[in-house]
Amino acid sequence: MIFDNNFHQKEINKMKVLITGGAGLCGRDIAPLFAKHYNYEIITTDIRKPDNDFPYLPCDIRNINEVDQIIKASGVDAIIHLGTLQPGLGPADMSIDINVKGVCNILESAKNNGVKRVVFTSSVWAGSRGPNAEYQPIDEEIKPTYDDMYDITKHMGEELCAYYHKMFGLNAIAFRFCGYDPIEGFNDNGDILWEKIDILKLVGRYCGIGPSYKLTNAWDLTQAFKMAIENDKYTHGLYLIGVGMPFVSEEAEALKNNPITVYEKYYPGISDFFKKIGFNVPNISFWYNTKKAKEQLGFSPKFTLQDIMRQYYENQ
């Protein structure tokens, strides 16, 4: 079965999207923004009902019959596959069942039921766990090194996407996802509410502190999936999604030992900004190159570190 790549020439307000793992943090936050801003018809599925009013169909993705029934009955145009077993939870065979067999079930049913596009949420850990990477910055071409079953199974999910695209023409995009940890102080349009934002936490996200390089708000998260769903040109690919930095490999040692000199090169005046907000720049041992997602999908977070610095002064 070969699929028509021009599926979204139909009116956007008629697009029907199934979100697996709809009860999780990402599913909970993107569903209302899709409905509000783009009039997508959202259907959610999970083993438990999400805390929202969107149509919900219970499903265990380990069961191909349940998956097939849900996808066939819903008649969706696209699937955002968020359902996963997080690292450190459950035995190894459960990781295989959910993170590999579950992905295979989604892709197989999508193929059989004419779904036009699947966006699979993998993890940067499918490639490398940051400081242990063979080179910096980490990109989509990094040779995978595994620390546990989560890393292995996420990489296997990526390979399944590639297989279903190659063998059956299924449009399957895989996100190597830095993660999502929302910071309070953004509105529904992804703009910063300066009276509420924790500036140290926000800046730290761009400097490898805390949940390093994870997306900071629901708007950015929603845009990443929207651009993957609606992209006509690229029917398959692996994309690193997160807060990327512009640094190059030749700056790795300086970032480990004297990072402010590198930051100042890319963001003139940032030393004074860091001092003003009381931010101590840590040594940077790893960072991500997200250029491929920007160049091919058109996605990057709404704000760069330069934008944050500029807006901070404008709002003083």
Q: Is residue 256 part of a domain?
A: no
Q: Retrieve residue 200's tokens.
A: 């140290």
Q: Is residue 281 part of a domain?
A: no
In three state form, how does the secondary structure of 271-303 look? Answer: HHHHHHHCCCCCCCCCCECCHHHHHHHCCCCCC
Q: Tell me how far apart the alpha carbons of residues 130 and 182 are, in angstroms, rounded to a whole number.
A: 21
Q: Is residue 154 part of a domain?
A: yes
User: For position 95, what pLDDT does the model report?
Assistant: 96
Q: Is residue 268 part of a domain?
A: no
Q: Is residue 62 part of a domain?
A: yes
Q: Tell me how far apart the alpha carbons of residues 176 and 268 are, in angstroms, rounded to a whole number.
A: 30
Q: Is residue 253 part of a domain?
A: no
Q: Give average pLDDT by consecutive 10-residue segment, the chain, 316 residues.
A: 43 79 95 92 93 91 97 96 90 95 98 98 95 94 94 98 98 98 97 98 94 96 98 96 98 97 98 98 96 98 98 96
The domain spanning residue 29 has which CATH number?
A: 3.40.50.720
Which residue segment(s) compose the domain that 179 sits in?
7-193+211-244+287-302
Q: Is residue 58 part of a domain?
A: yes
pTM of structure: 0.93
User: For position 162, what pLDDT does the model report?
Assistant: 98
Per the structure, how many domains does the chain have? 1
Q: Is residue 85 part of a domain?
A: yes
Q: Which of 200, 173, 163 is nearest to 297 (CA)?
A: 173
User: For position 1, what pLDDT does the model report?
Assistant: 36
Q: How far is CA 268 from CA 44, 287, 301, 306, in A?
A: 45, 20, 20, 9
Q: Retrieve residue 19's tokens.
A: 């979100």
